[in-house]
Amino acid sequence: NAGVTQTPKFQVLKTGQSMTLQCAQDMNHEYMSWYRQDPGMGLRLIHYSVGAGITDQGEVPNGYNVSRSTTEDFPLRLLSAAPSQTSVYFCASSFRGVSDTQYFGPGTRLTVL
């Protein structure tokens, strides 16, 4: 199993550009989530999904969109990038939810100029 994969590893955007961060898992997990981590800080939940076709907002959803058309994939879209979205983004998956072990991807380091 590859576990949780994320692409790209690094990305530089200009203010106003849009892009999609990709996340995929091959463990048949129902629960997937996106976090952002700013320097020296803990992780903050952006969006999560409890299964294909079902998504919900986390702590900091503004400026981000998600969709879950398959169990395996959970892309995160930045609609109009802003410098405040400069961060490291982690995708995670688990079988059910927070009471289950969450497996994290390697992260995407995003810089918005």
Partner 1 sequence: LAKTTQPISMDSYEGQEVNITCSHNNIATNDYITWYQQFPSQGPRFIIQGYKTKVTNEVASLFIPADRKSSTLSLPRVSLSDTAVYYCLVGGANTGGFKTIFGAGTRLFVKA
74 binds partner 1 (CB under 8 A): no
> 9, 34 in Cβ contact below 8 A?
no
How far is residue 26 CA from its own chain's centroid?
16
Interaction between residue 48 and partner 1 (CB under 8 A): yes
Binding residues for partner 1, total number by CB under 8 A: 28
Beta carbon nearer to partner 1, 64 or 90 = 90
Cβ-contact 107, 10 below 8 angstroms:
no
* 54-90 core/surface letters (b: 16 or more CB in 10 A; e: else): ebeebebbeebebbbeebbebbbebeebeeebbbbbb
- Within positions 52 to 71, which residues make up the interface with partner 1, using CB under 8 A? 56, 58-59
Q: Taking CB under 8 A as the rule, does residue 99 contact partner 1?
A: yes
Residue ranges binding partner 1 (CB under 8 A): 4, 31, 33, 35, 41-45, 48, 50, 56, 58-59, 88, 90, 92, 96-99, 101-107
